Amino acid sequence: MATLQEIMAKEPALASGHRMCAGCGIGSIVRTVLAASDKPVIVANATGCLEVVTTIYPYSAWKVPWIHLTFENAAAVASGIETAYRALRKRGKIGKEVNIVAFGGDGGTYDIGFQALSGALERGHKFLYVVYDNEGYMNTGNQRSGATPYGASTTTVPAGTKSFGKPQWRKNIVEIVAAHRIPYAATAVNHNILDLYNKAKKAFAADGPSFIAALQPCTTNWKYDPALTMKYSKLAVETNFWPLYEFDHGKLHINYKPKNRKPIEEFLKGQGRFRHLFKPENKHVIETMQKMIDEEWERLLKLEESGAVL
Amino acid sequence: MSKWKSLTGAQAVAEAMRQINPDVVAAYPITPQTPIVEQFASFVANGIVDTEMIPVESEHSAMSCTIGASAAGARAMCATASQGLALMWEVVAAAPGLRLPIVMPIVNRALSAPINIHCDHSDSMGATTIGWIQIYSENAQEAYENMLLAIRLAEHKDVLLPVMVMQDGFIISHGVENVEIFDDDAVKKFVGERNPDRFLLDVDHPYTIGPLALPDYYFEIKRQQEEAMRNALKVYLEVGDELSKISGHKYPYFEEYKTEDAEAVIVVLSSTAGTAKDAVDELREEGKKVGLIKPILFRPFPYKEMREALKKFNVIGVLDRSMAFGAYAPLYSEIRNTLFELEKRPKLQSYIYGLGGKDIFKSDIKKVFEELLSGDVNPEEQRYIRLRG
Amino acid sequence: MSEKKGWKELMRGSDLPPASSLEYKTGSWRTLRPIWDPDKCTHCMFCVAYCPDMAIPVKVTEEGVKGFGGRVYKGTVRLETNFDYCKGCGICAEECPTHAIKMIREEEAAKASK
């Protein structure tokens, strides 16, 4: 089991000088996931925050081979790389073993990238897909995505006198992915480095596609002080807003069960995107949110207990 | 030793792919291109090639996988038509900017709406400004040979641009011809190996491909791409000369048929040129001085050479198998552009024919020639062949 | 930063060399600066891991360095923040378990160094 000291001793795959917002949560995700690979890594990146901030011509922060094509095809590009890898190895043209990672934001994964992701999973390519989930189209200023939580205000579904923000809950991307019967799928969060690292390690060892949905608080668009990114990650987990679990060959294992689940208000407080929920007329939204979170948690517990395999 | 086989246009392209034996092929079905990937899939299934095939879930992913594989260092291909090309247009537009040598057979089919599975050129004519090299094939033999030329042209270090090789949907793709398939070893030697100077799987030399370029750099990067297109004009002829040594055929920018003393010529692409050559022959027997020009390399467009060839004619009819709604039809537009610099210009007439697979007959083409010879032309008027009403 | 290249000098196809972003010093974004007190540091690595800019370098040491409570910390230890790139987000100060990092205004740091 690696320690944080061992993980941090590895040279980060991302160099400084990129244009992430001060306090961005993506950096620790990328560093940790790529550190977990014991082979050289090739990265396919969808359009979005990570791609834009790390590769503004003529500056690239990537130390590893990296490709960006368009918004919806990180999984398809990774499939192409993976197939080329198999073909060229078969033909004796390359000797080194590699790991292939696709990075996409929630927009490029839950929404526009959904088809390519599903196709790649169904075909069984050996690659790891990591979604850095900041719950909206954040690179373009907080538009609503399929990952945006219930009650959040975004620019395309803003809170107002006639609206409390997003009226739908988000997709359960990890279960959808796990239903493709892939070897490994998990949630993770950017502050729990060891959990993310171990999950990435399992993912790289999987004999087929693997998937990690890493929650990534976004200071600019969730609207909180940049220093508090990790605080919100921790609250997300402690309130069961973002449970940490994994599907290992279809079997659910919940990694962390808070002894005293914090009420969802603790997470919502201080985030500009949820500020409107603290108005008296929106109290019902928080109540509904709490109910949904609790029901979802119960369902997860039951699923884990049942030992059922997806 | 070359072999003669009875093949459809689709099968002929699959034969070329068999001989090329690419590393990766991404396959998604769309009429009338499907037989290409089906034939190739059976080669794979029977160990005739050892290509890795990716059965993708849409054309958009077909091109995305192909680009990923090509950037990774593989020789990668995919095929499509019509709506498939339209769907993958987003990534098709990105491929030239990444300077990847992808060869993609296009089986020309009309664009929706309404949906139509038959031949016209609206699909490939919708992709003329994004930086793909475009080559049109008259028949299965040409489709086969153009694929071989295309791969060498695409991978040439002064070009490194993707190439579309067109053939008419159903007419050629599903029509059987006798095709001369050149010797496997000779073709293998001609096609050679892909040796990219940079590729993602070369992990010891990492680099970044596909960054964000802001207004300070985007223009410069695109100008570089334009330079590669200009180089393609020269390289196309060089590669063609080399291919001639195996095939015994020539690979000009365009074919000139009985044009030496012609008074009226038509300019027409693809299979209709075949029909038109018969019409020319028959009219010539009647003593009419007619001929035709069949463009082969459409992008980059060889304006200078085309001007030299066209300037001596009195009247030119241009037959387009697609419209550019609200503007001059694509081939007609290029011919107008070609003649612009001339002091004394031939008369021009634009004809639209065959949309959605509507047939065009020898008699139609003869009528066109009669019209041209009679001087009854109006360059501002778009005329339609066999349009009811 | 170097002068902008013309189209003939650019790498082909918008390709870029690795880690070319190191030329872009994001430290100029800072309005707050982290002041790290090595005497309070347990070299837990949280600040290193959390820094979005990889701006806290580390080294691996056998002999170790003196840290919190005068103890010697061996293995991977943190070094001074790389102020060429630190954007002053404050995550390191917020998350440090021993409060070994304090954020001060950048102007004050400039004054202090004079």
Question: How far is the CA of A254 from the CAs of A216, A307, B308, in angstroms?
Answer: 19, 12, 75
Chain B interface test: which of A77, A93, A129 (most B C-beta within 10 Å): A77
CATH of the domain at B312: 3.40.50.920
Average pLDDT over residues B173-189: 98
Query: Does the pLDDT value for residue B58 go beyond 80?
Result: yes
Q: Does a structural domain hold residue C98? A: yes
> Are A288 and A296 spatial neighbours (Cβ–Cβ below 8 Å)?
no
Q: Does a structural domain hold residue C65? A: yes
Q: Among residues A181, A253, A172, A242, which one has the least CA distance to residue A214?
A: A242
Chain B interface test: which of A85, A90, A115, A125 (most B C-beta within 10 Å): A85
Average pLDDT over residues A8-30: 97
Residues B202 and B308 in one domain: no
In tens, the pLDDT along A38-96 reads: 999 999 999 999 999 999 999 999 999 999 999 999 999 999 999 999 999 999 999 99
Which two three-digit tokens encode residue B162?
């993707």
Task: Determine contact: B100 vs chain A, CB below 8 A.
Answer: no
Q: pTM above the 0.90 mark?
A: yes
- Select from B247, B262, B283 the last residue of a domain: B247
Q: Among residues A8, A9, A54, A51, which one has the least CA distance to residue A28?
A: A8
Minimum CA–CA partner of C28 in chain A: A17
Separation CA B229–CA B153 (nearest Å): 11
Minimum CA–CA partner of B212 in chain A: A56
Q: Does a structural domain hold residue B75? A: yes
Query: Does the pLDDT value for residue B95 go beyond 80?
Result: yes
B59, with CB counted inside 10 A (0-12, 13-18, 19+), is buried
- Select from B205, B227, B247 the last residue of a domain: B247
- Residue ranges per domain, chain A? 4-306
pLDDT for the residue C113: 62
Minimum CA–CA partner of C55 in chain A: A16
Confidence of residue C109 (pLDDT cuts 50, 70, 90): confident
pLDDT for the residue C54: 97
CATH of the domain at C33: 3.30.70.20
| A8·C49 Cβ contact <8 A | yes
Which two three-digit tokens encode residue B156?
């040439």
> Is A126 or B389 the better-scoring residue by pLDDT?
A126
Measured from the Cβ of residue A293, the count of other Cβ atoms closer than 10 Å reads 22
- Tokens 């002929």, residue located: B12
Query: Does the pLDDT value for residue B244 go beyond 70?
Result: yes
Whether CATH 3.40.50.1980 fits A4-306: no
- Return the sign of the alpha-carbon dihedral for residues B5, B6, B11, B12: positive
Give phi and psi for B74, each to the nearest 5.
-90, 160
DSSP C4: P
Q: How many domains does chain B have?
A: 2
Residues B288 and B147 in one domain: no
Whether the bond between A209 and the residue before it is cis, its omega within 30 degrees of 0, is: no
Query: Does the pLDDT value for residue C1 go beyond 80?
Result: no
Containing structural domain, residue B93:
3-247
Separation CA A89–CA B74 (nearest Å): 11
Q: Helices in A189-228 by DSSP H: which ranges?
A: 193-205
Containing structural domain, residue C68:
29-113
Q: Does a structural domain hold residue C46? A: yes
Chain C interface test: which of A16, A29, A195 (most C C-beta within 10 Å): A16
Query: Does the pLDDT value for residue C106 go beyond 90?
Result: yes
- Tokens 């007619």, residue located: B290
How far is the first Cα of chain A from the last one, in angstroms, to the nearest whole number? 28
In tens, the pLDDT along A104-115 reads: 999 999 999 999
Which two three-digit tokens encode residue A249?
């060959």
Chain centre distance of CA B214? 33
Average pLDDT over residues A135-150: 97
CA–CA–CA angle C13, C16, C20 (5° rounding)? 160
Q: Among residues B300, B6, B334, B313, which one has the least CA distance to residue B179?
A: B6
In tens, the pLDDT along B129-170 reads: 999 999 999 999 999 999 999 999 999 999 999 999 999 999
A&C contacts, CB < 8 Å: 126
Average pLDDT over residues B4-8: 98
pLDDT for the residue B372: 97
Q: Does a structural domain hold residue B389? A: no
Q: Which of residues 16-35 of C touch B (CB under 8 A)?
A: 16-18, 20
CA distance C109 to chain A (A): 19
- Select from B247, B275, B300 the last residue of a domain: B247
Average pLDDT over residues A180-196: 98
Confidence of residue A150 (pLDDT cuts 50, 70, 90): very high
- CB-side exposure of B96: number of CA atoms within 13 Å? 27
Residues B357 and B373 in one domain: yes
Please give the share of chain A, as a percent, with pLDDT higher than 70.
100
Confidence of residue B178 (pLDDT cuts 50, 70, 90): very high
> Are B148 and B187 spatial neighbours (Cβ–Cβ below 8 Å)?
yes
In tens, the pLDDT along B301-330 reads: 999 999 999 999 999 999 999 999 999 999
pLDDT for the residue B161: 98
pLDDT for the residue C114: 55
Q: Does a structural domain hold residue B368? A: yes
pLDDT for the residue B130: 97
pLDDT for the residue C3: 84
A186, with CB counted inside 10 A (0-12, 13-18, 19+), is buried
CATH of the domain at B42: 3.40.50.970
Identity (one letter) of the amino acid at A305?
E
Contacts of A83 in chain B (CB under 8 A): 24, 52, 54, 65, 69, 74
Contacts of C4 in chain B (CB under 8 A): 216-217
**Which of A5, A15, A26 minimises the CB distance to C52?**
A26
- Tokens 């991978």, residue located: B155
Q: Does a structural domain hold residue C70? A: yes
Per the prediction, chain B carries an average pLDDT of 97
CA distance B348 to chain A (A): 42
Query: Does the pLDDT value for residue A289 go beyond 90?
Result: yes
Query: Does the pLDDT value for residue B379 go beyond 90?
Result: no
